[in-house]
């Protein structure tokens, strides 16, 4: 009996085997992708928490060149975990990502403020004469005292203080996730073996 005749005689069985193989490969690929994304989300959470700890929860300040979430895999892939996680666990992770993204926004604003401050101040060289507005320039406007001028020079402006206060405030309020049941569920998903497609 030739191979071609065997294939012709058993076309239904061969079609079934090929179909089942295709379904298995599809499910395995989906499972592998989900496992890799779970690992990536855990890494993002761990990295963000480490950055917050290194900043002393905002007290020591953040590096203006870095971000808590260089990537955000949770927002793009939350749909993959609907069947595996409770609503409260998903809410905890979403809240963490939302707060970390806002802290990133504040870090970016602080960086812009520092750049604006650096480029708006021109250096004064020794012997250079600096002229402050006087009463003759604008008699209607009260003139600042030397103490007020020193305070303006030494203190960050109003927007900078607000940004710094918000950074510290949000950094102290963000709840860490890495050692919670929500992260443990992601850890279990990320450690599934190749023979566990579901």
pLDDT tens digits, one per residue of 46-100: 999 999 988 888 778 888 888 899 999 999 999 999 999 999 999 999 999 999 9
Q: What percent of the chain has pLDDT over 90?
A: 31
Q: State the Cα–Cα distance between residues 130 and 125, nearest whole angstrom.
A: 10
What integer pLDDT is reported at residue 3 of this predicted model? Answer: 78
Task: Name the burial class of residue 110, with classes exposed (0-12), middle (13-18) and buried (19+) by CB atoms within 10 angstroms of its CB.
Answer: buried
Evaluate if residue 153 carries a pLDDT over 50: no
What integer pLDDT is reported at residue 138 of this predicted model? Answer: 58
What's the whole-number mean pLDDT along residues 143-152?
56
Q: State the Cα–Cα distance between residues 95 and 98, nearest whole angstrom.
A: 5
For 123-132, b/e burial (b = at least 16 CB within 10 A) is eeeeeeeeee
**Long-range contacts, stretch 63-66, CB < 8 angstroms, 24+ apart:** 64/107, 64/110, 64/111, 64/114, 65/111, 66/107
Evaluate if residue 40 carries a pLDDT over 60: yes
End-to-end CA distance of the chain: 41
pTM of the model: 0.67
Winning range, highest mean pLDDT, from 23-27, 118-122, 167-171: 167-171
Residue 91 CB coordination number (10 Å)? 12
Evaluate if residue 123 carries a pLDDT over 70: no
Q: What is the SS3 string spanning 166-193? A: HHHHHHHHCCCCCCCHHHHHHHHHHCCC
Structural domain boundaries in the chain? 37-120+158-190
Q: State the Cα–Cα distance between residues 39 and 42, nearest whole angstrom.
A: 5
């Amino acid at each position: 009996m030739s191979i071609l005749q065997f294939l012709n005689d058993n076309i239904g069985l061969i079609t079934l085997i090929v179909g089942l193989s295709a379904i298995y490969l599809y499910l395995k690929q989906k499972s592998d992708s989900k496992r890799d994304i779970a690992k990536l989300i855990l890494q993002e959470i761990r990295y963000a928490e480490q950055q917050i700890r290194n900043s002393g929860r905002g007290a020591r300040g953040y590096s203006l060149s870095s971000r808590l979430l260089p990537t955000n895999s949770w927002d793009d892939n939350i749909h993959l975990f609907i069947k595996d996680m409770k609503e409260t666990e998903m809410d905890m992770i979403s809240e963490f990502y939302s707060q970390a993204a806002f802290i990133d926004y504040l870090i970016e604003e602080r960086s812009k403020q520092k750049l604006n401050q650096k480029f708006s101040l021109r250096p004064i060289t020794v012997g250079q004469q600096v002229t402050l507005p006087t009463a003759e320039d604008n008699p209607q406007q009260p003139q600042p005292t030397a103490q007020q001028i020193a305070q303006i020079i030494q203190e960050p402006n109003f927007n900078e203080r607000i940004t710094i206060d918000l950074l510290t405030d949000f950094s102290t309020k963000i709840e860490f996730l890495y050692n919670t049941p929500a992260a443990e569920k992601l850890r279990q998903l990320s450690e599934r073996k190749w023979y566990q497609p579901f």
